[in-house]
Amino acid sequence: MLRRDGTGIASYARSLASTFASAGVPTALLLDHRVPVTRGLGEIGIANQVFGNLPPASRTGWLLELLIRSRFGLSRQVVGHRVETAMMRLASLDPSLPPHDRLFNASNGMAFANGVFLLRKHLAEVVIPDKITLAHWTGAAPIRLRGAPNVYTLHDVIPLQMPHLVLDRPGLAIRRFRAVAGAADHIVAVSERAREDIIEMLGLPAERVSVTYQPVPHSPPIDQEASARLVRNVYAVQPGEYAFFCGALEPKKNLYRLIEAFTLSGVRLKLLLAGPLGWLHDDVRKLLEQLGANATEPGQLQVRWLGYLPRIHLAALMRCARFFAFPSLYEGFGLPVVEAMQLGVPVLTSAAGGLAEVAGDAALIVNPLDVSDMARKIHMLASDAYLRRELAARGPVQAARFSLASHFERLALAYKQVGVTLPDKADLHAEVETACT
């Protein structure tokens, strides 16, 4: 949650914490920063290490640490130490901490859990020195909290449906998903389509999976005029003279076809891509290099990759785009699509996964595998001002379906499946405590 280049699941964890905060539900966060916890150091000393900077461990060092901590695979337990931040000045953290009441850290907890699962094919177990009513894990992590119901959000089952789009040890993904599904007290999906795929691929009873969709936080506070200045001065483009994409450079984002379609569409716009490097991105990088080699001046580049950007820059670029393009091969939800609609930016997105379901009638839908269809609709959206006005008007209405309040109501129904009752809106200060990671 504190990585500067965090994307989908990190955003989901933040918005989940915001949902609880909006309803007054006390929430504990579990971090997994690698820290050498020293006996007798105390909570403030642990906090100092959690928010300090350590050099990364070598792979040999990581393996040795894993073997020692797990007693060569015999122990599955990891401890979440309390992190006391009351005396620390953390306002300058970027990104900031999500809303929370208590903070714990299990040093290298996820790496430890993945290592234990690799060695023993069992879920690791985290122990927290406080009473927690429910643990909500924000992905298919092979770990569970002792002494409380464990709910897992599975955003998709892409490693099982489309293994060519991910990096995975042979057979590990299916074992991990099955182990998590078997250990979960309940599973949360972020769209009806994702729920159907989870049930089908993992052979689960329908009653064990609930749909909550995903909350969409408000955009950073930057208005249209300030956004236009930032776009002109920092990125040397004019508002309305480019299309925009944001997301990691990875195969499921379908960027190779998007770039092909954009160059074939004949539009006189630029395409700006923002996001960190993901995995298996060599084809996209090579295509970008080829397009750069064909331009005689940097300003002539029609397609530019901007790398990872701060949220305020993303919001400015989104606001000033002629349209937002997100023709992914699969998304369980597709948060950037709803963020664009929330701002009244016309959207072009995919019929795959939960994207069409989430976008409703507020986006232009394309076949993500058909470059010709994509090119034709890019041209349509770029040139048809009436269509853009229609989509811009529908966008905020559709995005309002995914408010924090709506998400809270859906979460409350899901948690009832494991015997946990969230407070009613009239009783926002009920003592229900939820841990998120």
Rounded distance, CA 199 to CA 157, Å? 10
The pair of structure tokens assigned to 142 is 């092979």
Domains identified in the chain and CATH numbers: 8-215+404-436 (no CATH), 224-401 (3.40.50.2000)
Closest CA to 262 of 363, 382, 347, 391: 382
Q: Where are the alpha helices (DSSP H) in 236-334?
A: 255-265, 282-293, 311-320
Chain centre to alpha carbon of residue 123: 23
pLDDT in tens, the chain (437 residues): 555 555 678 889 989 999 998 889 999 999 988 776 555 555 556 666 777 666 666 666 666 766 666 665 556 788 888 888 877 777 777 777 888 999 998 988 888 898 888 888 889 999 998 899 999 999 999 999 999 999 999 999 999 998 888 887 777 888 999 999 999 999 999 999 999 999 999 999 999 999 999 988 777 888 999 999 999 999 999 999 999 999 989 999 999 999 999 999 999 999 999 998 887 778 888 888 877 655 445 556 789 999 889 889 999 999 999 999 999 999 999 999 999 999 999 999 999 999 999 999 999 999 999 999 999 999 999 999 999 999 999 999 999 999 989 999 999 999 999 999 998 753 434 444 556 65
Give the CA distances from residue 294 to residues 256, 282, 288, 326, in Å, rounded to whole numbers and listed in that order: 17, 19, 10, 25
- Beta strand 27-31 with 102-105 is parallel
Q: What is the DSSP string of 68-89?
A: HHTTTTT--EEE-EE---TTS-
Which residues lie closer than 8 Å to 334 by C-beta, 6 or more apart?
A: 326, 328, 349, 353, 354, 355, 358, 359
Determine the pLDDT at residue 429: 40
Tracing tokens 């034709």 back to the chain, one arrives at 376
> What pTM does this model have?
0.89
How many other CB atoms are there within 10 angstroms of residue 362's CB atom? 24
Determine the pLDDT at residue 296: 45
How many other CB atoms are there within 10 angstroms of residue 376's CB atom? 15
Report whether 359 contacts 334 (CB < 8 A): yes
Which residues lie closer than 8 Å to 333 by C-beta, 6 or more apart?
A: 155, 190, 191, 194, 213, 214, 354, 358
The pair of structure tokens assigned to 289 is 């290099």
Rounded distance, CA 47 to CA 105, Å? 9
Determine the pLDDT at residue 214: 92
Closest CA to 69 of 123, 121, 109, 42: 109
Determine the pLDDT at residue 427: 45
